[in-house]
Amino acid sequence: MKKFILLLASLLASLLLPAQDKMLDLLKGELKSQMATLQKGEYPPYYMNYRVIDNFTRTVRSSMGATTSVEEEKQIIFVPQVRIGSPEFDNFHETQNGVLTNRFAGPPTILLPSDLTNGLDAFKETIREEVNSRYKYAKKTYEAAKAKSGVKVENEDKSPDFTPAKAEKYFEPALSADKIAFDTDLWQKKLNKYTALLAENKDVIGANATLNYKIWRKYFVSTEGAEIAENRVYVVLSIKGTTMADDGMELPLNKSYMAFSLDELPSEALIIKDLKAMSTKLSELKVAPLVQPFTGPSLLSGSASGVFFHEIFGHRVEGQKMKSDSDGQTFKNMVGEYVLPKNLSVYMDPTMKKYHGNPLNGHYIFDDQGVRGERVEVVKDGKLLNFLMTRTGLNGFLRSNGHARAEFEYDPTSRQSNLIVETNNYKSDAELRKMLIDEAKQQGKEYGYFFKSVTGGFTQTGRTGANSFNVTPLEVYRIYVDGRKDELVRGVDMIGTPLSMFSNIDAAGGDFEIFTGTCGASSGNVPVTAISPTILVNKVELQKKAKPTVTPALLPRP
């Protein structure tokens, strides 16, 4: 009876998993063969996986009403991982990557042939060479880690280097040609129309548009039995207009639209409406006054506060980096404590494909360790509960929640997905504005600031330098306490340190905004989303941007 049940379970599994494509079968075969071969070596691997990214990207660029480039990139990238030692202590104990990297050069790009019939020998040889190279590097880093563990101060974190995870089996058929069709001529005309519209404004010195249409087919197989083939499609339309003040300061404004298909992008009428508003705002920025250094109260719009939380909070709850003593470990020992106001909650959710109907750039089903992505309640009502975990353990957190992510060639580490900030104590825009003015008066300030849009930022999380952040605003207004009209200003960066900034958050609104972007960190660039309401901060620090080195043109733009 037991044999019959096992046979039935096997049959059902085969019915649930459709006929797999040739790539997946070849990877499974090569993985099994290489694992068996390496068992004869000095340090037999206890675990291996193969990642393959079949990347097909079309890119169209336009500037000032004319096409500047049309590109098509097709490549199949191979990234193996070899682990030797034991799950408690292995060759990744002291390093994130399974291949030599440095601050100037990332991992090599290993390309597989696309013709799996005529190129089969080359396919197998490429895999074997790279796996052999990674195995040699694994031996070197494992021996170095063992030697270092014998002489350095003992790490307080005793968690294993590799924690257990379910071996998933998941298969999506490859997308058919009609699903990924792309009319290059049509999109050249659209982008040229958009940039020409901005270029009609003589105050605009740069009008650029880029459409990226990315089709990724991601494969993952492991010696634990994981078999995954997943499709990911990203469409991102980015439009940037730039003006220049009389002192030579370049002043850009950006607008981005993200979708999972070309048909999901906003209508041309809506985009043109947005660009007309951008053009008007660029002319206002050109003559806006320059900001002086300032400390005082500010409002951050939903998109601005989304970047704010991504940079100064999100990077500090990425669990894997906290295992290293070189990390600042801002929150490592604060689980169960209040780290944000009690009216705020923060969660990360890669399973969320849309938020109130808006597509989210940080969506995926499986992370780059083959673990199914999970919603993670990081902060609930101000209290820190969890971190973004990979299969690298952390004291008190011994399982992955599906946040191991990497750009094509890199080994994965903890990264953000869709970050969502929510409040349980809604304040209207009018209430927030009044609170800002009241706070400015109390501090003896003539005005506070409103950050309407930002372009991104960066943060330092290590302990060898200043544990700080810098957010780059694009559209900023002074809000005067005496009722004068709000004043657009320019030339400012928001700076600070994380813990002091978190303690300065006073209130949040209920209306959300979405910031779509790409996050660059130690495992390369990954798509992310940040969603947040407007927040009131009782004290921010602003510094002047670097002095321009460009002299404005003497002749007017043609």
pLDDT confidence band for 8 (50 / 70 / 90): very low
Query: For residues 105 and 61, what is the distance between their CA atoms, to the nearest angstrom?
Result: 27
Mean pLDDT for 356-382 is 97
Mean pLDDT for 363-383 is 98
Residues 6+ apart with CB under 8 A from 534: 299, 300, 301, 302, 305, 429, 432, 508, 509, 511, 513
- pLDDT at residue 104 in the model: 80
Please tell me whether residues 524 and 450 are part of one structural domain. yes
- Evaluate whether residue 260 is within a structural domain: no
Please tell me whether residues 175 and 49 are part of one structural domain. yes
Mean pLDDT for 474-497 is 93
Query: For residues 33 and 22, what is the distance between their CA atoms, to the nearest angstrom?
Result: 17
Out of 213, 231, 249, a domain closes at: 231
Please tell me whether residues 206 and 345 are part of one structural domain. no
- Evaluate whether residue 556 is within a structural domain: no
CATH of residue 43: 3.30.2290
Query: For residues 6 and 81, what is the distance between their CA atoms, to the nearest angstrom?
Result: 31
Query: For residues 174 and 213, what is the distance between their CA atoms, to the nearest angstrom?
Result: 16
pLDDT confidence band for 6 (50 / 70 / 90): very low
- Evaluate whether residue 402 is within a structural domain: yes
The per-residue pLDDT for range 431-458, each reduced to its tens digit, is 999 999 999 999 999 999 999 998 866 6
Q: Which of 13-17, 233-237, 249-253, 360-364 has the lowest mean pLDDT?
A: 13-17
State the pairing for strand pair 294-300/447-459. Answer: parallel
Please tell me whether residues 323 and 198 are part of one structural domain. no
Out of 231, 256, 284, a domain closes at: 231
Please tell me whether residues 322 and 209 are part of one structural domain. no
Query: For residues 481 and 80, what is the distance between their CA atoms, to the nearest angstrom?
Result: 60
pLDDT confidence band for 239 (50 / 70 / 90): very high
- pLDDT at residue 460 in the model: 62
- pLDDT at residue 476 in the model: 95
Nearest CA-CA partner of 240 in 279, 270, 193: 279
> Do the Cβ atoms of 427 and 506 come closer than 8 Å?
no
Percent of the chain with pLDDT over 90: 78
The per-residue pLDDT for range 128-182, each reduced to its tens digit, is 999 999 999 999 999 999 998 875 656 678 899 999 999 999 999 999 998 899 9
- Evaluate whether residue 242 is within a structural domain: no
- pLDDT at residue 464 in the model: 54
> Which whole-number Å values give the CA distances from 18 to 12, 21, 476, in the listed order?
11, 9, 53
Torsion of CA 449, 453, 456, 460, to 10 degrees: 20
Residue 4 confidence (pLDDT) above 70:
no
> Do the Cβ atoms of 463 and 329 come closer than 8 Å?
yes
The per-residue pLDDT for range 68-127, each reduced to its tens digit, is 999 999 999 999 999 999 999 999 999 989 998 887 888 999 999 999 889 999 999 999
> Do the Cβ atoms of 29 and 47 come closer than 8 Å?
no
**Count of domains forming the chain:** 2
Query: DSSP string covering 22-46, please?
Result: HHHHHHHHHHHHHHHHHTTSSS-EE
- Provide the 8-state DSSP code for 120: H
- pLDDT at residue 501 in the model: 81
- Provide the 8-state DSSP code for 151: T
Top-ranked range on mean pLDDT: pick from 55-69, 455-469, 502-516, 517-531: 55-69
Please tell me whether residues 204 and 345 are part of one structural domain. no
Torsion of CA 300, 532, 472, 331, to 10 degrees: 110
Please tell me whether residues 224 and 340 are part of one structural domain. no
> Do the Cβ atoms of 504 and 539 come closer than 8 Å?
yes
Note the Cα 172 to chain centre separation in Å: 24
Tokens for 95, please give them.
Answer: 């390093």
Question: Which range of residues forms the domain containing residue 506?
Answer: 294-544
Please tell me whether residues 107 and 212 are part of one structural domain. yes
- Evaluate whether residue 253 is within a structural domain: no
Who wins on pLDDT, 470 or 26?
26
The per-residue pLDDT for range 524-533, each reduced to its tens digit, is 999 999 999 9
Who wins on pLDDT, 3 or 333?
333
Handedness of CA 101, 105, 106, 107 (dihedral sign): negative
The per-residue pLDDT for range 36-68, each reduced to its tens digit, is 999 999 999 999 999 999 999 999 999 999 999
Mean pLDDT for 321-333 is 83
The per-residue pLDDT for range 533-548, each reduced to its tens digit, is 999 999 999 988 877 7
- Evaluate whether residue 286 is within a structural domain: no
> What's the chain's average pLDDT?
91
Mean pLDDT for 262-290 is 97
- Evaluate whether residue 120 is within a structural domain: yes
Mean pLDDT for 405-431 is 96
Please tell me whether residues 72 and 221 are part of one structural domain. yes
- Evaluate whether residue 284 is within a structural domain: no
- pLDDT at residue 461 in the model: 59
Residue 2 confidence (pLDDT) above 50:
no
Please tell me whether residues 355 and 491 are part of one structural domain. yes
Please tell me whether residues 321 and 189 are part of one structural domain. no
* Reported pTM: 0.91
Out of 231, 261, 277, a domain closes at: 231
Please tell me whether residues 386 and 493 are part of one structural domain. yes
Residue 517 confidence (pLDDT) above 80:
yes
- pLDDT at residue 13 in the model: 41
> Which whole-number Å values give the CA distances from 247 to 260, 478, 549, in the listed order?
42, 21, 9
